[in-house]
Amino acid sequence: MPSQYRVLRVFLLFIVTALMGQKVVAQYCVDNVVLVHGNGSSPSSWDNTVDKLLWSGYQQAQIFAPAWGVSNPAINNHYGREEVPVREAIVAAIESSCTGKIDIIAHSMGVTLAAQQVIKLGADDLVESFVGIAGAYRGVWTCGVYPFNVWTSTCGKWGSSIGSPFLQWLYGKPIAQRVFSMKSWIDQVVCAWGTCMVNGRHTSQIEGEQDSYTYYYGHFGLQKYTADDQLMLIY
């Protein structure tokens, strides 16, 4: 969970604004937010987060949730058609942001896809906060070790196999001013073969992150049930 200081700060903000009869951020200029869903999923997977953002005073026009990929998760990777919607959403969010910066919250394969687009755009200095939820920054064992066991696009050169050329290119590059990860040791996707560890670290952790938070949720619960903490990290 976030630090006690951060929790106290946001709690006090909610109390004060509630007493004033106002939404939390309605009177402030805040970063636009980009929500990048996971492999085979859809923007609707962010419904809890969107509801929380709207309740907190964000306008619908400040929330960007691109739909990328197809419903078959074995086909999607980090190259070509998957890139375009995410890149366009990031560019649009930056261009219309009243602060000139954005926040990104991403889930699962959306973590590495969003990070890739930030790097390609050279926009890491324009991303204030990046929250990666249940990502596979170091790959997943179910995809094998590149170039073995990579029969699907998801596990290939542009996919999530351990040591894939894509992940080697991605690793260690700056993606935001502040980076956080949310992870679980019971994640049924990134820990599917009984271990979450790759090269000595949880695969959901992001190199250069400010902090990493652990929850007792599965892969999809991490996205669905952490909306409050997601907002705390981007405030």
In this structure, of 5-14, 83-92, 93-102, the range with the lowest mean pLDDT score is 5-14
Is-contact 235 228, C-beta < 8 A?
Answer: no
Query: Using CA atoms in the order 233, 57, 7, 101, what is the torsion angle rounded to 10 degrees?
Result: 30
The string of pLDDT tens digits covering residues 51-88 is 999 999 999 999 999 999 999 999 999 999 999 999 99
Q: Who has greater pLDDT, 99 or 15?
A: 99
User: 0.75 cut: is pTM over it?
Assistant: yes
Domains of the chain by start residue, with CATH: 30-234 (3.40.50.1820)
CB 200 within 8 A of CB 230: no
Place of tokens 């705390």: 232
As a whole number, the mean pLDDT across the chain is 90
Tell whether the model's pLDDT for residue 191 goes beyond 90: yes
| Whole-angstrom distance, CA of residue 73 vs CA of residue 185 | 22
